[in-house]
Amino acid sequence: MPKSILIVGASRGLGLGLVAEHLRRGYDVIATVRKSADEPVLKALPGADRLTIHHLDVTSDADIARLAAALTDPVDIVFINAGVAGPASVTGASPDELNAVMQANVFGPIRLAHALIGTVREQTGVLALMSSIMGSIAENTFGGMEVYRATKAAQNSFARSLWLGSARSRGVTVLSVHPGWVRTDMGGAGADIDVDTSVTGMADQLQAHAGAKVHRFIDYSGREIAW
């Protein structure tokens, strides 16, 4: 029986790359997008006959409930890829701007993770969240992008609490994953690696951690990142 993966935020960049990589690996893939206009690029991928698409905004409780209700079979891997860069400065941003980035990067993804944890296959399942090395307090040596950094640090903290609670009791591994500095719309043209390098590495890590029953903060190559 083919393995299954749910990839949240799959319309472009790393999310789209993760869908393509797991279709190549023979997975049954469930992908989420925010609008119908995002679907054609997914449907054009090789292996798209093993692809199911759902609409989801991670900041919508109604969307989260609808997706959770639709997933009636256990899923081997859930990868929540959602987030925005947000304002550059905490003092230069309005309260509404700060609230919006927290909803998109922290509360939405984590509330979704809690809603889906019961769907992840017991004992061998993996739930991953797209984190960033910028969420590491220990490795922050040059500042900048303070709001984005804080959202990823908060997401990592919530991920640990999720693992200590319902995930660990089900034997589910939780991964907070830094994809590398990738040439995407967010990463920019001057980034270190391309999408294929990142998603191949992340897919390898998802596979390698099946049954590990841990929470780790790692990059796409498996390197441990200091909290």
pLDDT-derived band at 182, boundaries 50, 70, 90: confident
Whether residue 2 has pLDDT greater than 80: no
Other CB atoms within a 10 A radius of the CB of residue 164 amount to 12
Domains of the chain, each with CATH number or no CATH: 4-219 (3.40.50.720)
Sorted by sequence, the CB contacts under 8 Å of residue 51 that are 6+ apart come out as: 19, 23, 29, 30, 31, 42, 43, 45
Whether residue 58 has pLDDT greater than 80: yes
Backbone angles phi, psi at 215, to 5 degrees: -120, 120
Whether residue 187 has pLDDT greater than 80: no
Report the candidate in 180, 175, 174 with the shortest Cα–Cα distance to residue 132: 180
- How confident is the model over 76-86, as pLDDT tens digits? 999 999 889 99
Query: What sign for the dihedral angle of Cα 190, 195, 197, 198?
Result: positive
